[in-house]
Amino acid sequence: MANFQKGTAVNIIKDIFANEVFPAVGCTEPISCAYASAAAAEQLGGPVERIELTVDPGTFKNGAAVTIPNSQGQKGNVIAAAMGAVLAKSSLRLEILKEVDQEVLEKAKKLIDTGCVRYQCREDTAGFHLEVIAEGCASRVSCIVSEGHTNITSLEKDGRSIIQGHPHAGTAGNAYQVRLRSMKLEEVLREVIQLDDAARAYIQRGIDMNLAISEKGVDLKRNAYQIKHMMKQGLMSDDLFYRVKLRVASALDARMGGLAEPVMTSGGSGNQGVLTILLPYLVGRDQDVDLARIQESIAISHAVNSYIKRFTGELSVICGCAIAASIAAAIAVVYQKAGIDMEKITFAIDNIIGDLCGIICDGAKSGCSMKIVTGADTAMRSAFMALEGYGVSKDDGVIGSSAEESIRNLSRISLEGMGLVDSTVVHILQGKTPRRGQA
């Protein structure tokens, strides 16, 4: 977690860092289930005996098919929650499962196998919201995490609120998010590039962290391996586009495959963190951009990703990695060469929306690596076209007359036009092989 205090930031980028940009080991939705379970279980005063986990549709689909770190290849929110409850160390936040050992895993599996874990999706829940009820030692503790993957908004033991004494207590509704939504995009960009040494160091930490995991996924022989194989076959050139796509695919292959190593997130998403950080960094290095300017561009990338989420939702129907993070990364690349040139920045936004609008999120899984490659390719093409003064016509489809209008139109497609997508995806996932603990 960033060492930035909530609500005390000099500018909005530090609030974004404090709430949305932090290390996570594993996919952030199931790991948030582990975190919430730990926060509840550690209040029992002894071993957890039973847990109930209730999640929103976005969290349900993001936990359905992703491999959980240190679980010996198991998938899903249930095993993550059980391991978190047994470990009971919420101080580790979204790096909690890095400390799972064989003993913890066996105890978690026993909870599930003996029917002591109940799991359900509440389909009428909007936005990120999960609740854990833990029982043990003749006590019952409930923990609610909402509006942020580590934002505890309710913690009760035996019907009495104990949230005041919890070091990670959060609030429902963050003031910086309200402010961000009210700002013009240009205002956001001009504010967030004012970085002090602490912010630059934190950005660099994210670069180093995501570069490290981007070297680990090729050996799994998934998407990144196939991309590298195609290059060796002569079907792809060993150029900037290839190298960026290989790196981001490798990072996602590793983390979606359950590798127990951290990723720096963006907008609370590790996959989005890979794209918003690595694409601007790798492009900037290739184009001989100064490191200080690359760091500023990554601050922009994080801020734009957060800005878009204020309109589309934290867990949206559309693929945040392929669309929101792609827009953020493309704007970062434009900034590296042209500064805050709103005409070119708007071209980049419109180019991506014109290309990728409508790609749905059907949950976190190994296939997300395919989507991040698509997003990376489109982000780079859109940025370089924008730098040359090219953008799709304002008459095209849902493109607006300004950057803000295009983003709001994208939001309308997601929230109004695709309102049944999440429910449909959840039903499809529920129709697959039943998962233990599922109600």
Domain CATH number, residue 354: 1.10.4100.10
Give the per-residue pLDDT at 147. Answer: 84
With pLDDT > 70 as the criterion, what percentage of the chain qualifies? 94
The pLDDT tens digits of the residues spanning 65-106 come to: 999 999 999 999 999 999 999 999 999 999 999 999 999 999
Structural domain that includes position 139 = 25-165
- DSSP run (H or E) holding 131: strand 129-136
| Rounded-to-integer distance, Cα 304 and Cα 21, Å | 13
Residue at 309 is within a domain? yes
Find how far residue 234's CA is from the centre of its chain. Answer: 34
Are 74 and 108 part of one and the same domain? yes
The pLDDT tens digits of the residues spanning 205-220 come to: 999 999 999 999 999 9
Are the C-beta atoms of 228 and 286 separated by less than 8 Å? Answer: no
Tokens matching residue 213: 């995991």
| Rounded-to-integer distance, Cα 35 and Cα 82, Å | 10
Residue at 317 is within a domain? yes
171 versus 227: the higher-pLDDT residue is: 227
Residue at 15 is within a domain? no
Rg (CA), the chain: 21
State how many domains the chain has.
2
Residue at 193 is within a domain? yes
Are 326 and 205 part of one and the same domain? yes
Are 313 and 364 part of one and the same domain? yes
Residue 245 dihedral angles phi and psi, to the nearest 5°:
-65, -35
Give the per-residue pLDDT at 148. Answer: 85
Amino acid at 201: A
The pLDDT tens digits of the residues spanning 130-173 come to: 999 999 999 999 999 998 898 899 999 999 999 886 666 665 55
Residue at 6 is within a domain? no
The pLDDT tens digits of the residues spanning 230-247 come to: 999 999 999 999 999 999
SS3 label, residue 154: strand
Burial of residue 385, with CB atoms counted within 10 A of its CB: 0-12 exposed, 13-18 middle, 19 or more buried: middle
Q: Which of 100, 130, 165 is the last residue of a domain?
A: 165
Are the C-beta atoms of 204 and 22 separated by less than 8 Å? Answer: no
Q: For the chain, what is the mean pLDDT?
A: 92
Are 50 and 146 part of one and the same domain? yes
Are 60 and 201 part of one and the same domain? no
Tokens matching residue 396: 């095209």
By DSSP bridging, strand 117-121 and strand 50-55 are parallel
For the chain, give me the number of helices (H) and strands (E)? 17, 8
Give the per-residue pLDDT at 174. Answer: 75
Residue at 13 is within a domain? no
Are 242 and 341 part of one and the same domain? yes
With pLDDT > 90 as the criterion, what percentage of the chain qualifies? 83
Residue at 4 is within a domain? no
pTM surpassing 0.85? yes
Are 220 and 119 part of one and the same domain? no
DSSP letter at 99 equals G
Residue at 308 is within a domain? yes
Are 152 and 265 part of one and the same domain? no
Are the C-beta atoms of 217 and 211 separated by less than 8 Å? Answer: no
| Rounded-to-integer distance, Cα 336 and Cα 378, Å | 17
Give the per-residue pLDDT at 360. Answer: 92
Q: Which of 137, 165, 193 is the last residue of a domain?
A: 165
| Rounded-to-integer distance, Cα 428 and Cα 435, Å | 13
Domain CATH number, residue 72: 3.30.1330
Tokens matching residue 73: 């290849």
Are the C-beta atoms of 132 and 90 separated by less than 8 Å? Answer: no
Give the per-residue pLDDT at 167. Answer: 64
- For the ranges 70-79, 174-183, 230-239, 270-279, which has the lowest average pLDDT? 174-183
pLDDT at 2 over 60: no
| Rounded-to-integer distance, Cα 94 and Cα 29, Å | 9
Give the per-residue pLDDT at 169. Answer: 64
Instruction: Tell me which residue has tokens 């929230």.
Output: 415
Give the per-residue pLDDT at 4. Answer: 60
Tokens matching residue 192: 């967030």
By DSSP bridging, strand 262-264 and strand 23-25 are antiparallel
Band of pLDDT at residue 271, cut at 50, 70 and 90:
very high
Are 227 and 300 part of one and the same domain? yes
Are 160 and 199 part of one and the same domain? no
The pLDDT tens digits of the residues spanning 291-337 come to: 999 999 999 999 999 999 999 988 888 998 889 999 999 999 999 99
The pLDDT tens digits of the residues spanning 114-125 come to: 999 999 999 988
Burial of residue 139, with CB atoms counted within 10 A of its CB: 0-12 exposed, 13-18 middle, 19 or more buried: middle
Give the per-residue pLDDT at 53. Answer: 98
Q: Which of 165, 195, 225 is the last residue of a domain?
A: 165
Amino acid at 323: I
Give the per-residue pLDDT at 124. Answer: 87
Are 96 and 37 part of one and the same domain? yes
| Rounded-to-integer distance, Cα 264 and Cα 270, Å | 6
Are 243 and 187 part of one and the same domain? yes
